[in-house]
């Protein structure tokens, strides 16, 4: 008899096995007990028939409490009625760990209660499915960029300068110097690109922004590729290939999790079809104004959630919006060659109301221009001399972008709130040890 994981049940149909599990729920009649079980790999049902087991085993099946741990021994059978497709006919139970008064009962609970018990909420089916899909997106990210010839190049978490401006930085001290929690690894990735051609970072980033919208986190994980000898259109092609690759990887490897979430694979399949539409910021403004739904939309302002939702739904798939006004974008973006009022950049907007999932641009290469932009942004030019050196010594056209992992997870899983996409949102509403 082998000890297996639930996820491997299909290999052991009609065979006797042993599995370490936790109880999530149960129901019983006088002669049969149905145990809903999980082991971290999947969920399935255990059936205990009174006439087929000892009195002690059936008594254990009737008395076991929610989230008690145990080993179950029995035979795997196919079960076409369940999401998982298999169940175990239990003949013996070996208790392992007790659980008394588990706080998250099967009834509905409010979000604040669940966030207070995030360390336990992770055990639920929905959270299980979200985190498994998040894990698949991480695996697929590494696979994609390695396949495309990128080098993993880690950026520091403590930094002395700000790529996006100083208003959203968490300040700390690095011995006798000011330091900040990183809001982006992009500037460092540009140094990496000048050394290795194509690089990407993947790590935590922080924004000191008090926001309670369903799209924002204070702490999140960011994927930031940077590419030398690359103009905007070449970057957009990598971006859409990357997104399509992520979605296809979930479709290929997470069908069970999608079923648990009720996420329609046919909807996701649309997002694997390339290329994605491209429109300019000017055209986006015109679309919004013609709709009649956005009377306050004017050229020069950034888009909010309603505007992004309308634009993406108009195309029914992710859409690139190109070349935003210079005044609303960071200092490092390359100016447009024929217009002084816009920069060469793009946001990728996801449909279904999820908004921007990628922001990117071609990077400015002119030292004098960057010096003026740094000063205009209220930043200390001395802190950016190393960054300007990248232009002084063999500069090339280069582009990059950033994708927030949790926002991508939220979109692909179809979840309502981004905070369910990160295991422990330490800086959102609750502080965990």
Return averaged pLDDT per consecutive 10 residues of the chain, 433 residues in all: 97 98 93 97 97 96 97 96 94 97 92 90 94 97 98 90 66 86 91 98 85 70 97 98 98 97 97 98 97 94 94 95 96 96 98 95 98 93 94 98 95 80 53 37
At 131, which helix (H) or strand (E)? helix 125-147
Of the candidates 135, 256, 219, 223, which has an alpha carbon nearest to the alpha carbon of residue 431?
A: 219
Please, are residues 320 and 347 in contact by the beta-carbon 8 Å criterion? yes
Of the candidates 46, 38, 52, which has an alpha carbon nearest to the alpha carbon of residue 76?
A: 46
Quote the pLDDT of residue 211.
61
Residue identified by tokens 């956005």 is 294
Task: State the DSSP code for 293.
Answer: S
Domains of the chain: residue spans and CATH: 2-97 (2.40.50.140), 118-421 (3.30.930.10)
d(CA 412, CA 81): 26
Quote the pLDDT of residue 212.
56
Quote the pLDDT of residue 67.
98
Quote the pLDDT of residue 429.
42
């Amino acid at each position: 008899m082998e000890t297996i994981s639930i996820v491997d049940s299909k290999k052991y149909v009609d065979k006797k096995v042993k599995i370490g599990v936790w109880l999530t729920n149960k129901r019983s009649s006088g002669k049969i007990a149905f145990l809903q079980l999980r082991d971290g790999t999947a969920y399935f049902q255990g059936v205990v028939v009174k006439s087929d087991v000892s009195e002690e085993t059936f008594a254990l099946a009737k008395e076991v409490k929610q989230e008690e741990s145990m080993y179950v021994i029995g035979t795997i059978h196919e079960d076409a009625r369940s999401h998982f497709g298999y169940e175990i006919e239990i003949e013996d139970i070996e208790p392992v760990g007790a659980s008394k008064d588990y706080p998250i009962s099967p009834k509905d609970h409010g979000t604040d209660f669940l966030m207070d018990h995030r360390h336990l909420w992770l055990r639920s089916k929905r959270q299980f499915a979200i985190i498994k899909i998040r894990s698949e997106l991480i695996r697929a990210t590494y696979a994609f960029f390695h396949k495309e010839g990128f080098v993993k190049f880690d950026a520091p978490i403590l930094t002395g300068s700000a790529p996006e401006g100083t208003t959203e930085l968490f300040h700390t001290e690095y011995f006798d110097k000011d330091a900040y929690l990183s809001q982006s690894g992009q500037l460092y990735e540009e140094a990496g690109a000048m050394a290795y051609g194509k690089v990407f970072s993947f790590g935590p980033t922080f924004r000191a922004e008090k926001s309670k919208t369903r799209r924002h986190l204070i702490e999140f994980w960011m994927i930031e590729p940077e590419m030398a000898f690359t103009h905007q259109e070449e970057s957009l092609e990598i971006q859409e290939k990357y997104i399509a690759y992520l979605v296809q990887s979930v479709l290929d490897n997470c069908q069970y999790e999608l079923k648990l979430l009720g996420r329609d694979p046919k909807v996701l399949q649309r997002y694997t079809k390339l290329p994605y539409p491209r429109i300019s910021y000017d055209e986006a403004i015109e679309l919004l104004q013609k709709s009649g739904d956005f009377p306050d939309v004017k050229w020069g302002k950034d888009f909010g959630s309603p505007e992004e939702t309308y634009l993406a739904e108009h195309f029914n798939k992710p859409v690139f919006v190109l070349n935003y006004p210079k005044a609303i974008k960071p200092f490092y973006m390359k100016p447009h060659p024929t217009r002084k009022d816009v920069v060469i950049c793009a946001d990728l907007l996801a449909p279904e109301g999820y908004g921007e999932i990628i922001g990117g641009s071609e990077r400015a290469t002119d030292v004098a221009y960057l010096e003026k932009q740094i000063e205009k942004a209220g930043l200390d030019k001395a802190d950016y001399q190393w960054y300007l050196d990248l232009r002084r010594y063999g500069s090339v056209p280069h582009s990059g972008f950033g994708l927030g992992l949790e926002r991508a997870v939220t979109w692909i899983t179809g979840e309502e709130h981004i905070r369910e996409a990160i295991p422990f949102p330490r800086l959102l509403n609750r502080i965990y040890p």
